[in-house]
Structure 1
């Protein structure tokens, strides 16, 4: 079914043909909710992919939008999923994926920051990033400046609504000078930029910034070195998931092989079928199968 204006077409795509372009973490509760909704009412919106044929001619696709829906289909044991297929470059696919994450009601702050950082690394100007993501230019400019300064804690505070972007920029401008930071905080309070709960949240962010450094989730590299326990746990969990997936895939392949072997045994016990194979000069099979179909590994 073609979509209007040649934008793309809706097709059924095998799950194993789709590679994830911009993977992101998702909470178990959120994911369970997606699976439950799809199981009860079906897929309301198709995923979006772009074709990337392989050198050997195999059809492959990059996922642009809909990672949660794709993984939910995998969890439900589905083999295919409805997908809007569009022809775009890798760069445009990445921007579309980033824009989709920004548009979500509950995007993770680090995802947005990571996306903007990648656009900066690709050489985009702040105005171009603003236009492509739909974000306000001043906001984009401030985010980019804070990214350059490595102010991850302040950036997350802005994204979660803990402090306004202009206050974060002022605090970042004060650097590591505690008196200057406190003066910036006082100025924000007196100007009305910070009031009540926001003031308390801003103080908490500043305390963490002073104690643990500007980067969230990790201690300052000037005080500590090596791998954090959080990183180790996450790496271990990822490896467990990978190994579990490999075991499941191996078991599934083994089951399919057993079905093929049993089917061949039954077919080859039929003399008419064997005569047909001989007439077509199909008198051999891969050694791997022959050893399982016949104990002596003989041919037809």
Structure 2
């Protein structure tokens, strides 16, 4: 598949353009993404109270409009029961619409590593070279190349750790491309530079050991169904009986100790000198449950 030509685009999202009121049902989300529920709830509340501060961007198609930028605002209008939304309408090819949407997702302030990997992989599948992806996403060329290496080599374990945020992408690339000696040296250097902390270093070592023993990918094996025998049922029943008996014994011991404490408190509280001492020390109350037992109400 040939990479898309780097012809200059004839459109800019920020260029001067008229704003149109477009029905929501005519707009299609071409690159949907999940969002934080709390953040989205605040967005809906802000739009409900203050209104829409910035129109969304759409591209005209034969059947309607494709959403380019502003999925959150678009979905907030749906939640609020609106029928139309202000839109900036641009003219762009299908490839350009998808690219602008991807770049807009990557450019937002907070995005997960999974979003980043999926976006870069989508651009690569569409034929863009590493250099082109780097230029369009404003990411380092080596960084993009490293991610593509992990994806092409099927490094599920490394990608999962990168997605969770505790394995730096630089270390993941080193592990994928190097032998054990180079990997150990890179880990030592990362630890000395503060890139890997103590606990984090141990997790990376366990990951490398698991990768060496189990391979790059996770093994998705079905757990065989266990057949329960009559002997196993009997053992489980006897184990539960022993647990219940032990619980009863502990309850009896606790009740005896509580009875001793209540009896002792009754005798002490019948002594006027002891009561005077408590008042002088500012100790004039006790838990209600214990007080009821001392008075004989429980």
Q: So what's the TM-score if we normalise by structure 2?
A: 0.61
Question: CA 1:82/1:156 → structure 2, altered by over 3 Å: closer, same or farther?
Answer: farther
Q: Distance in 1 between matches of 2:157 and 2:100?
A: 26
Aligned twin of 1:35: 44
Structure 2 unaligned blocks of 5 or more: 1-11, 224-298
Question: Following TM superposition, by how much is the alpha carbon of 1:88 offset from its aligned partner in structure 2, in angstroms?
Answer: 0.7
Question: CA 1:166/1:24 → structure 2, altered by over 3 Å: closer, same or farther?
Answer: same
Q: Is the 8 A contact 2:191 2:201 kept in 1?
A: yes
Choose between structure 1 and 2 for higher RCO, CA contacts under 8 A separated by at least 6 residues: 2
Q: Is the 8 A contact 2:13 2:90 kept in 1?
A: no
Match among 24, 34, 56 for residue 33 of structure 2 = 24
Question: CA 1:40/1:141 → structure 2, altered by over 3 Å: closer, same or farther?
Answer: same
Q: Is residue 68 from structure 1 mapped to residue 37 from structure 2 by the alignment?
A: no
Q: Distance in 2 between matches of 1:210 and 1:144?
A: 21
| CA RMSD across the alignment | 3.2
Q: Is residue 169 from structure 1 mapped to residue 173 from structure 2 by the alignment?
A: yes
Aligned twin of 2:219: 220
Aligned twin of 1:82: 86
Q: Is the 8 A contact 1:15 1:74 kept in 2?
A: yes
Q: Deviations over 1:96-153 (max 9, x none)?
A: 1111111111113222211111111111110001111111111111111112122355
Question: Following TM superposition, by how much is the alpha carbon of 1:198 offset from its aligned partner in structure 2, in angstroms?
Answer: 4.4
Q: Distance in 1 between matches of 2:131 and 2:118?
A: 17
SS of residue in 2 equivalent to 1:78: coil
- 1:1-300 to structure 2, matched below 5 A, reads 8-54=17-63, 60-155=64-159, 157-158=161-162, 161-174=165-178, 185-186=187-188, 188-190=190-192, 193-196=195-198, 198-200=200-202, 202-203=204-205, 206=208, 219-221=218-220, 223-224=221-222
Q: Distance in 1 between matches of 2:45 and 2:23?
A: 21
Q: So what's the TM-score if we normalise by structure 1?
A: 0.60
State which structure, 1 or 2, has the greater radius of gyration over its C-alpha atoms. 2
Q: Distance in 1 between matches of 2:88 and 2:207?
A: 42
Question: CA 1:31/1:208 → structure 2, altered by over 3 Å: closer, same or farther?
Answer: farther
Q: Distance in 2 between matches of 1:79 and 1:211?
A: 57
Question: CA 1:42/1:205 → structure 2, altered by over 3 Å: closer, same or farther?
Answer: farther
SS of residue in 1 equivalent to 2:128: coil
Question: Following TM superposition, by how much is the alpha carbon of 1:188 offset from its aligned partner in structure 2, in angstroms?
Answer: 3.5
Q: Is the 8 A contact 1:174 1:184 kept in 2?
A: no
Question: CA 1:69/1:213 → structure 2, altered by over 3 Å: closer, same or farther?
Answer: farther
Question: CA 1:162/1:38 → structure 2, altered by over 3 Å: closer, same or farther?
Answer: same
Question: Following TM superposition, by how much is the alpha carbon of 1:167 offset from its aligned partner in structure 2, in angstroms?
Answer: 1.0
Structure 1 unaligned blocks of 5 or more: 55-59, 226-300
Question: Following TM superposition, by how much is the alpha carbon of 1:197 offset from its aligned partner in structure 2, in angstroms?
Answer: 5.7
Question: CA 1:38/1:204 → structure 2, altered by over 3 Å: closer, same or farther?
Answer: farther
